[in-house]
Amino acid sequence: MSVPDTPPGTRRRPAPRRRLATVAALVTSLAAALVLPGLGLSVPSPAYADSAVGRDIRTGLPGTALTWGGNHRGQLGDGNTAGSATVPGRVCGNATCTAPLDKAVQVAAGDGHSIALLEDGTVLGWGNNASGQLGDSTKTDRATPVRVCAVGEPAPCAGFLEGVTSIGAGDSHTIAVARPLADLATSIGASPEPVANGGTLTYTVRVHNYGPTSAEDVVLTDHLPTTVRYAGATPSTGHCDTPPTGTTNTVTCHFGTLARGGAATVTIAVKVRSTGSVTNVVSATGTTPDPRPVNNSAAITTPVG
pLDDT of residue 83: 86
Over the Cα atoms of the chain, what is R_g?
30
Which of residues 178, 199, 219 is at a domain's end? 178
* 140 plus 49 within the same structural domain: yes
Q: Do 96 and 143 reside in the same domain of the chain? A: yes
Assigned domain for 3 exists: no
pLDDT reported for residue 286: 98
Neighbours of 54 (CB within 10 A): 10
29: in domain: no
Long-range contacts of 88-95 (CB under 8 A, 24+ apart): 88/58, 88/60, 90/64, 90/65, 90/66, 91/65, 91/66, 91/67, 91/116, 91/126, 91/145, 92/144, 92/145, 93/145, 94/144, 95/144
What confidence tens digit (pLDDT) does each residue in 215-235 have? Answer: 999 999 999 999 999 999 999
Q: State the pLDDT confidence band at 281, using cuts at 50, 70 and 90.
A: very high
Phi first, then psi, for residue 119 (nearest 5°) are -65, -20
Whether the pTM exceeds 0.85: the reply is no
Whole-angstrom Cα distance, residue 8 to residue 169?
A: 53
Give the model's confidence band at 193: pLDDT under 50 very low, under 70 low, under 90 confident, else very high.
Answer: very high
223 and 139 within one domain: no
Q: Are residues 200 and 140 in the same domain?
A: no
Q: Which domain holds residue 76?
A: 37-178
In a domain, 186, yes or no: yes
Assess whether 258 and 129 both reside in one domain.
no
Question: 94 near 144, Cβ under 8 Å?
Answer: yes
218 and 160 fall within a common domain = no
Please identify, among 159, 178, 197, the residue that sits at the C-terminal boundary of a domain.
178
The pLDDT, as a whole number, for residue 28 is: 26
What is the pLDDT at residue 149? 95
Cβ atoms within 10 Å of 116's Cβ, excluding its own: 28
Q: Find, among 33, 30, 38, the residue nearest to 109 by Cα.
A: 38
Is 56 in a helix, a strand, or coil?
strand
Judge whether 30 lies within some domain: no
Residue 168 has pLDDT above 80, yes or no: yes
Confidence at 277, pLDDT banded by 50, 70, 90 = very high
Residue scoring higher pLDDT (96 or 82): 96
For 99-127, the pLDDT digits (tens) are 999 999 999 999 999 999 998 889 999 99
298 and 191, same domain (yes or no): yes
Of 178, 203, 221, which residue is a domain's last? 178
Q: Distance between terminal CA atoms of the chain?
A: 106
Torsion over CA of 258, 179, 105 and 96, rounded to 10 degrees?
-40
193 with 278, same domain?
Answer: yes
Tally the domains of the chain: 2
Average pLDDT over residues 5-29: 38
Residue 4 forms part of a structural domain: no
